[in-house]
Amino acid sequence: MGRRKKEPRSVHRENIASAASVLFMEKGIASTSMDEIAKAARYSKATLYVYFENKEEIVGLLTLESMKKLYGYIDAALAQRESTWERYDGICQGLVRYQEEFPLYFKIVLDHINIDFEKQDCLEEEKETYRVGEEINEKMKEFLAEGMRKGDLRNDLEVMPTIFNFWGMLSGIIRLAANKEEYIEKSMGLSKVQFLEYGFHMLYRSIAKEKRE
């Protein structure tokens, strides 16, 4: 099939990455070949290599896109709510929505992100992914600082360790609920939503300032 040669390079890269994303969801990244990606995207293999040198570069682009999507959810959650609890709950619900809509992206974001940019073979997408990740951390710093200033969060929180533990615990709760939904309902009598709400409240209590009567 003929290609629209006047389309920008970025359009072709997005077409290929989109096709690859579907295959990665179906088969996993390691089990997906460049041949399969070319066929799914309706490009010749030779043309595919014009836009991506290898599969790692495609993964790099998808990782970057996933980080941008995550930033969008976090930014919206913090901008649209006022109270500390509402902002926290917005972050949680944004992450749940993100995992449900983009499970592959959710997994990729939790995997290793390169921070060694001295090596010559470092992808530009890796640098940009790191930058967006740091912007997300800045949003979280602002959230914690504002919560402590209002007296809603404990004032002894160490910001960066809190943020990393925060991501680890939240992502763990969300992945557990997604992977064990049937077991949770059968053994606990809780729906996925109820289980998540319990976990989110439990985590919030660990950072919330104790209210004295």
pLDDT tens digits, one per residue of 134-183: 999 999 999 999 999 999 999 999 999 999 999 899 999 999 999 999 99
pLDDT of residue 87: 94
Thinking of the domain 7-52, which architecture would CATH place it in? Orthogonal Bundle (1.10)
Q: What is the DSSP string of 108-164?
A: HHHS-------STT--HHHHHHHHHHHHHHHHHHHHHHHHHHHTSB-TT--HHHHHH
Q: What is the mean pLDDT of the chain?
A: 88
Q: Which CATH number fits domain 56-207: 2.70.98.60, 3.50.50.60, 1.10.357.10, 3.40.190.10?
A: 1.10.357.10
Residue 18 pLDDT: 94
At residue 213, the pLDDT reads: 42
Q: How far is CA 68 from CA 4, 10, 30, 131, in A?
A: 28, 16, 23, 10
**pLDDT at site 121:** 67
Residue range(s) occupied by CATH 1.10.357.10 in the chain = 56-207
| Token pair in block for residue 196 | 């998540």
CATH 1.10.10.60 placement within the chain: 7-52
